[in-house]
Amino acid sequence: MVHSLSDTTTLHNGVKMPWFGLGVYKAQEGEEVIQAVKVAIKHGYRSIDTAALYQNEGGVGKAIIEANVPREELFVTTKVWNSDQGYDSTIQAFHTSLTKLGLDYVDLYLIHWPVVGKYKDTWKALEDLYEQGKVRAIGVSNFQIHHLKDLMADAKIKPMVNQVELHPSLTQKELLAFCQKENIQIEAWSPLKKGRLQEDSVITSIANKHQKTPAQVILRWDLQNKVVTIPKSVKEHRIIENADIFDFTLTDEEMKQIDGLNKNERTGADPDNFDF
């Protein structure tokens, strides 16, 4: 059971990753992202998830320096964007990200999307960065079961994490079961479905019972499903509220009710059919 913001899951290479973190997608580079990250760290968050695509790695790095917390206490994730995939360009993109972040290493480096014909070469680059100690863990994002099987057929190192869109309208049960069997940690992006589940009657009724918000119920559901979760916000009260989920537990029945909301409905692109 996850009891606090500092609790971690152990990845298959032994690296400890916080169960809960801050996502910074769409947080503007500069003051907005710097303040969001500093506020999160001040309130006990230790995991920050960014990406080259978000164009705010510089602000994340600046916030980390200003937050004045020992680097080894933090878990920083970034991702290689689709146009940079391929072996050489991935190595180059990684060093660009590292420079922007102002760090000596990244805790987790992910392939952002499974670009057909490129993700295997990209993965080789990640394996090399990992073996050189530039990253503590490597993984993928938006990979379906068939992408993972295809990647693992040739990989030296199995992905440690798969970050995917996951929320009560897209429970990803089959993918979750596959990754748990393979010891690949699933992490949820858009865990709150961009706020679209706040009004759902099943979730609001469970929330009322626990005197929690619908968002808190959904994030608790993630953790009880053994899913790492990274809700995004730039508002201090929301950053604090999102993390206030360690003083209650959903019953098995409530977990089932939330699972029952699945519609296989995405807010983002389909990993088998995207054009960016």
pLDDT digits (tens, 9 = 90+) for 236-273: 999 999 999 999 999 999 999 999 999 999 999 999 99
The answer to whether 241 and 39 have CB atoms below 8 angstroms apart is no
For the question of whether the overall pTM of this predicted structure is more than 0.85, the answer is yes
Q: 1 pLDDT band (50/70/90 cuts)? A: confident
Least Cα distance to 225 among 191, 265, 274 occurs for 191
**How many residues are there in the chain?**
276
> In CATH terms, is domain 8-259 a member of 3.40.50.720?
no
The answer to whether 176 and 170 have CB atoms below 8 angstroms apart is no
Tokens 């360009």 belong to 89
Q: pLDDT digits over 125-160, tens only?
A: 999 999 999 999 999 999 999 999 999 999 999 999
Kind of pairing between the strands at 106-111 and 16-18 = unpaired
Q: pLDDT digits over 118-129, tens only?
A: 999 999 999 999
- Each domain of the chain, given as residue ranges in start order, spans 8-259
Residues tagged active-site: 54
Question: Tell me, what amino acid is at 238?
Answer: R
Spell out the residues 6+ positions from residue 224 whose beta carbon is closer than 8 angstroms to its own.
Answer: 249, 250, 255
Torsion-angle region of residue 190: left (phi > 0), alpha (psi -120 to 50) or beta? left
Q: pLDDT digits over 189-231, tens only?
A: 999 999 999 999 999 999 999 999 999 999 999 999 999 999 9
Distance CA 118, CA 126 (A): 13
